Amino acid sequence: MKATVFVRLKREVLDPQGDAVRRALGTLGFAGVKDVRIGKLIEIELDPATAAAPDLEARLKKMADEMLANTVIEDYEVKLER
């Protein structure tokens, strides 16, 4: 089983990297790009015993809260592929 955690800056947080990409896309001729937000994708392969745990989603959220995302400035979303 695989879990995927998507981490993105909160909407109210400035994203200078995303802004640089937006400007570069315009320079390269890709007109009409209004906004770009940069984030990160984390894939976690789980062994079968862990995947069967009843508290799996809570454990994944705890991982994201404590290690994978800075919850002061970032939001995250956890998806499971069963």
pLDDT in tens, 2-11: 999 999 999 9
Q: Which residue bears the tokens 């984390």?
A: 42
Structural domain of residue 32, as residue ranges?
2-81
Question: What's the total number of domains in the chain?
Answer: 1
pTM: 0.85
Burial (CB < 10 A; 0-12, 13-18, 19+), residue 12, is exposed
Taking only the tens place, the pLDDT of each residue in 11-63 is 999 999 999 999 999 999 999 999 999 999 999 999 998 888 899 999 999 99
Domain with residue 16: its CATH number is 3.30.1280.10
Q: How far apart are CA 28 and CA 34, in angstroms?
A: 14
